[in-house]
Amino acid sequence: MNEFITVVLLHLFAVMSPGPDYILITRQSIRYGRRVALWSSGGIGIGILFHSFLAVTGILFFIASNESYLLALKLICSIYLLYLGITSMIYASNFNQKQIDDNKWNYTGGFVAGLITNITNVKALLFFITLFGVVLNSQTQGNLMLYGLYMAFATFIWFSLLSYIFTSNIFKSQFLRFFTIFEKFLGLILVIIALQLLGNVFLFQ
């Protein structure tokens, strides 16, 4: 029971802290609306399950211990975040409410965006290495996978809640006129995170 409480608390702090996943859901909610944001939340949840599988099988620790693989992951993550940030800043000026209401963006695209953002999230990788390699004492892989299932579900619920908040009528009525500035700001944050990761990649070469 103590081990499970530890998992819950650590995951709660990790999932609620600002990062690429949080920024993505905010961006998806603003630009594409609730349904796409919910699909992106599902993609992030599956990404958590993917990290759990890699941790249980030991693949995650192998990636972390191999400098070349870790740098490759950081490079992929930084390029993807840079792409999301730049597109957000470029297309923010074209934002309008009708664009959200009429948006036909494929929900699968939203899911894939959430999945890629999470599985390339270095922050998530380091969290699972710490959690599964240092904190947890379970020797049974089944127990560890159950923790992974819990974290995947809890992550989906958290980001789904954010999706509902950012697409609620109350939020839109109060902040709609600032959405263009807000999306540009989110795009800038993504670019900064991407550049920091790129700096780490070239710094450790």
pLDDT band with cut points at 50, 70 and 90 for residue 132? confident
- Total domain count, the chain: 1
pLDDT value at residue 134: 61
Give tens-digit pLDDT for 3-17.
Answer: 778 788 888 888 887
Whether the predicted pLDDT of 44 surpasses 90: yes
**Structural domain range at position 91:** 2-203
- CB neighbourhood size of 160 (10 A): 19
CA distance 193 to 86: 12
Q: Summarize the confidence of residues 62-74 as an average pLDDT.
A: 74
- Give pTM, 2 decimals: 0.78
CA distance 171 to 165: 7
Q: Summarize the confidence of residues 80-96 as an average pLDDT.
A: 73
Sign of CA dihedral 60, 36, 156, 124: positive
pLDDT band with cut points at 50, 70 and 90 for residue 101? very low
